[in-house]
Structure 1
Amino acid sequence: MLGIFSGLKSNVPLLSKIEEPKTEGVVNRLHYRMTVMILFGCSLLVTALEWVGNGSKISCVMEGPDDSWVVPPNVINTYCYVLSTFVLPKHYNTKIGHTSSQVGVGTYNPKEDDVSYKAYYQWVPYVLFLQGCCFYVPHLIFKLWEGGKVKNIISGLHQCIIDRKDRCEKERILAQYFVDSMHSHNFWAIKMLFVEFLNLVNVILNIFFVDVFLQGEFSTYGYQVIKFLEADPENRIDPMATVFPRVTKCSFYKYGPSGTIQTHDAICVLPVNIMNEKIYVLLWFWFILLSFVTVISLIWHLLFLVTPGLTKTFLKSRTMNQPDLHLNDIGRHFEVGDWKLLYILARNMEPLVFGEFLRELFGTLKSVNENNNPSSKPLMT
């Protein structure tokens, strides 16, 4: 177990590398790191069958009048796993041990009874892996569109630089770049916001996809589990046992000695569904939580883009409200992209360093303004 998940951790790290600045927010990291880790981990967990039962995906048993009637176990197990098993909805609410042997398993009339085939357990590890890839795609798009801009221009200022001379030189270069490239970051900022929106669309589509995959059972799955825990033990129906049945039925047909069709009725145990039912309970709650925080994050970033005053308040908090930073004058001619870039720089720099950078930026802007307009008033508060 440790070997499997240690390999996963090395490929999908939970923490950022210290030497790289953080260009994506916490919610983005929940999508492409935490969620991908959960989905890939669950996919590995489902395939590690030695942890459940006897290490097999399915175990079927049947009885006959003599030994010639019984199908070899390896044959019936493979047949029922490949061609899927089924349950009888009429036995969901019957008393076990009297009219049914297990939830959904009881007397069966092929001509009259409705059956519900359960074949999706074959696809669970592949679907989980595919979903993990889907949650990683927006991150790849973000990295492509961001283009390493912040990493290239920040010049190590997101790390602790003790030498003041070296730090001031890097702040001067960054301030000069900021002034030279002013008003050129708008499209870049819009693309960053689009990735946030793409994360929200992705998680919602994944919820609908799993709901279709589980035959419409996923949308209310977690809610039904909560109701089950609070219901009367004598009358409640376990939703996990109906969506992921642990015991199912299987009909095997073959020719008998007389050349007529023989129907072999088997009862199959699915140890893998013990894991599947818990995995999808976890995913239901995680997707709901992730959708909620993504909506909040998207609204928050929209407010930052359209409300410069809110951005200024955040920037002041990042500098511990130092009084001589001239934020109002610095941002007088800023556009959406400029505020976005300044916001990311503020998140990556120490308050002291960011305060020094703002002073350098103010001085550079003042110098450029005086050179371009010698007769205008100097840029001062």
Structure 2
Amino acid sequence: MGGDFVGGILGSVGTFRKLWRGTIDDWIDRMSHVYTVGLLIIFAFATMKGVYLRDNINCWVPKEFTDTFEKYAHDYCWISNTYYIPMDEPIPVDIKARESETITYYQWVPLILIIQAFMFKLPYFIWKLFNGYSGLSLEKVIHLSEQTEFDEAESRRVTIDHLARFLDKWLNGQKEYHWNVMVRMRHRLSRVCCFFCDKRAGTFLSALFLSIKVLYLLNVVGQFFLLNAFMATDYNLYGFEIINHLAANGEWRESPRFPKVTLCDFEIRQLQNIQRFTVQCVLPINMFNEKIFIFLWFWLVLVAVLAAYNLLQWLFISVLKRNRATFIKKYLKITNDLQTAYDKKLAAKFADTYLHDDGVFVLRIVTKNTSDIITTELVQLLFERYKNQVKTSNMNDLETSFDEDAKEPLQ
């Protein structure tokens, strides 16, 4: 486990080969980059079959049309778009009025779904590519932590001890060794702005992770505007309209956004004469498009709500300094390492000056992907290493900074 372990844990930088492996986030992120991407790809292939692999449009043409003319009408109306006028309304004489009702999206539904899937995956690509610049392979940490869940107690203890040792090496390697005006300014900025990435201040991973959370939320909100532009309709309110209609009428109705019967205009040149025809066409694919985009609207709303909640949750966790100490103390209480007031103050110092934001963040991600048992053992071992460092290096200075009444001998 020696050299390979060191090479895997320290100094790892993201590569494109690692984009699809590992779980280094939480389940709400996976709602976007795993489950939503999977749904969109399934929908894309389902509509692709209807668009490219069978009769995708059928038009009712005049009797005088030959088979060749009929095929021409079908092909032309498919590639040049159709327009929708309700049956109870007259067809406008003005050509521009007809063109304003043109439906342009049905040929491109598979492509737009694939583009959406890529956009939902993009924040995860960015996270995978850049989290390794922290100097730690977070993916490797999670992988080893997950493996220990199935090991015997002794074997698990050995693995977690190795993991604690290299996390300790990583944390000590991120310390600032030169303290000047620029360093102080950078540290203050990282404390004020939780999105300021600074490896030396211990905020690189946590700030990057929060930035990715913002990208997930912006992406899912932007999807509504993308679909608005794509379908040339007010898609933002689509779901509310469906709910209101069902509540008022108790029955399903055909949506004007996804009409099954449309109209198509085309011109045929015969010598010097140009004849204009208007034919009525049926779009079977819109029967599937309607159901897909209704489901997609409600799914996007769900993902947007979860992403917003998740961002606020992580902001609360990251911005408030006391949350770091609270998180660490929860696990140290399990192992009875907090027996005195001095131990509690030392645990707070451990969280703030040793682990920093990034160290606590790594432990939170380990917890979300494994179990509290693994995190408890890992926190205990890291705390022991920290206490040993305090004892051997600067114990006297540390004791004088504490309240005299709170001092009790370490157990």
Which category describes the TM-score, using the shorter chain as reference length? 0.7 to 0.9
What's the TM-score, normalizing by structure 2? 0.74
Amino acid at match of 1:128: L
Q: Residues 179, 232 of structure 1: CA spacing in aligned structure 2 closer, same or farther, 3 A cutoff?
A: closer
SS for the counterpart of 1:189 is helix
Question: Which residue of 275, 278, 288 maps to 1:265?
Answer: 278
Aligned partner of 1:79 in structure 2 is: 76
Say which is worse superposed, 212-221 or 323-332, in terms of deviation. 323-332
Amino acid at match of 1:279: I
1:36-78: CA deviation from partner (whole Å, max 9, x where unpaired): 0111111111112299xx93110001224xx368863211100
Aligned partner of 1:245 in structure 2 is: 259
Amino acid at match of 1:24: D
Distance in 1 (CA, whole Å) between partners of 2:65 and 2:373 is: 85
Amino acid at match of 1:167: R
1:212-260: CA deviation from partner (whole Å, max 9, x where unpaired): 1111321111111112212347xx994x531111001112211347x42
Once the 2 structures are TM-superposed, how far is the Cα of residue 308 of structure 1 from its aligned partner?
4.0
Find out whether 1:150 has 2:138 as its counterpart.
Answer: yes
Distance in 2 (CA, whole Å) between partners of 1:40 and 1:275 is: 15
Aligned partner of 2:248 in structure 1 is: 231
Amino acid at match of 1:290: V
Amino acid at match of 1:218: Y
Percent of aligned positions that are identical:
23
SS for the counterpart of 2:337 is coil
Residue 325 of structure 2 contacts residue 352 of structure 2 at CA under 8 Å; is this kept in 1? no
Question: Which residue of 157, 163, 173 maps to 2:162?
Answer: 173
SS for the counterpart of 2:236 is coil
SS for the counterpart of 1:181 is helix
Aligned partner of 1:191 in structure 2 is: 208
Amino acid at match of 2:79: V
Aligned partner of 2:350 in structure 1 is: 330
Gaps spanning 5+ residues in structure 1: where? 1-15, 101-105
Residue 329 of structure 1 contacts residue 380 of structure 1 at CA under 8 Å; is this kept in 2? no
SS for the counterpart of 1:265 is strand
Aligned partner of 2:223 in structure 1 is: 206
Gaps spanning 5+ residues in structure 2: where? 1-19, 176-198, 400-407
Amino acid at match of 1:264: F
Distance in 2 (CA, whole Å) between partners of 1:208 and 1:50 is: 24
Distance in 2 (CA, whole Å) between partners of 1:284 and 1:155 is: 35
Aligned partner of 2:302 in structure 1 is: 289
Distance in 2 (CA, whole Å) between partners of 1:155 and 1:230 is: 49
Superposition pairs of residues 340-351 of structure 1, within 5 angstroms: 340-351=361-372
Find out whether 1:109 has 2:98 as its counterpart.
Answer: no
Superposition pairs of residues 52-71 of structure 1, within 5 angstroms: 55-64=54-63, 67=64
Find out whether 1:361 has 2:382 as its counterpart.
Answer: yes
Aligned partner of 1:339 in structure 2 is: 360
Question: Which residue of 229, 233, 239 maps to 1:222?
Answer: 239
Q: Residues 178, 282 of structure 1: CA spacing in aligned structure 2 closer, same or farther, 3 A cutoff?
A: same
Amino acid at match of 1:217: D
Amino acid at match of 1:150: L
Residue 43 of structure 1 contacts residue 125 of structure 1 at CA under 8 Å; is this kept in 2? yes
Distance in 2 (CA, whole Å) between partners of 1:35 and 1:154 is: 23
Residue 319 of structure 1 contacts residue 352 of structure 1 at CA under 8 Å; is this kept in 2? no
Distance in 2 (CA, whole Å) between partners of 1:371 and 1:298 is: 41
Q: Residues 361, 279 of structure 1: CA spacing in aligned structure 2 closer, same or farther, 3 A cutoff?
A: same
Q: Residues 155, 223 of structure 1: CA spacing in aligned structure 2 closer, same or farther, 3 A cutoff?
A: closer
Q: What is the CA RMSD across the aligned residues, in angstroms?
A: 3.1
Superposition pairs of residues 116-127 of structure 1, within 5 angstroms: 116-127=101-112
Find out whether 1:280 has 2:293 as its counterpart.
Answer: yes
Once the 2 structures are TM-superposed, how far is the Cα of residue 143 of structure 1 from its aligned partner?
0.9
Residue 262 of structure 2 contacts residue 282 of structure 2 at CA under 8 Å; is this kept in 1? yes
The count of residues paired between Structure 1 and Structure 2 equals 342
